[in-house]
Amino acid sequence: MLSFNNALWIIGGYDNDNGISSSEVWTSTDGTSWTLVTNSAAFGPRHNHASVVFDNKMWVIDGMIYDEYGNQSQYSNIYYSVDGSNWVLATANPPFEIRHSHTAVVANGKIWVIGGYSFNLGALNDVWCSSDGINWECVNDGSNNSFTPTWMHTSVFFDNKLWVIGGQNSLGEVWYAQ
């Protein structure tokens, strides 16, 4: 869920009733009454993605999909929107490993992508950043004094530090970097 332009936004997700990923976008100005903005956003059905507000846009980063046949796959792309209805592909193949269940935060004029899970590599502990959502820089490849590889964690920027908290595979750890 995001807060953007004085409204709450739900972007994509997982439909437990049907066992499939969603490409719906919903918005609410009060958290009680919700309006469907689109039922088929251009980013495609996905869940376990990361979403942030950056540069007056909503961003959707990577994620995964379950289709109606029970197949699962991961996305390696980044989309943004200024209205929740029209989504623009920012980059089709960011340089970081394809992932889901990662986190993204905005701090110091950049989007930061942290950890997650890759079907190819398993749990991840790398950190990437971008000042435009298109060009990405590896800040930490996970090999030097990094947090335990984890996914489904929480990340937040607080007190001029990037915090990585809990998640699968982390044994309840709390890490931070300046």
pLDDT single digits (tens) 76-128: 999 999 999 999 999 999 999 999 999 999 999 999 999 999 999 999 999 99
The letter for the amino acid at 34 is W
Residue 132's alpha-carbon distances to 88, 91, 137, 170, in angstroms, are 14, 11, 11, 30
pTM: 0.95
pLDDT at 145 over 70: no
Q: What is the rounded CA–CA span in Å between residue 111 and residue 128?
A: 8
Mean of the per-residue pLDDT values for the chain?
A: 95
Q: Distance between CA 108 and CA 175 in Å, rounded?
A: 19
The average pLDDT across 122-151 equals: 93
Tokens coding 24: 């719906």
Length of the chain: 178
Q: What are the domain boundaries of the chain?
A: 47-177
* Amino acid found at 50: A
Measured CA distances, 47 to 27, 101, 110, 140, 141 (Å)? 17, 8, 23, 25, 25
Which CATH superfamily, name and number, covers 47-177? Kelch-type beta propeller (2.120.10.80)
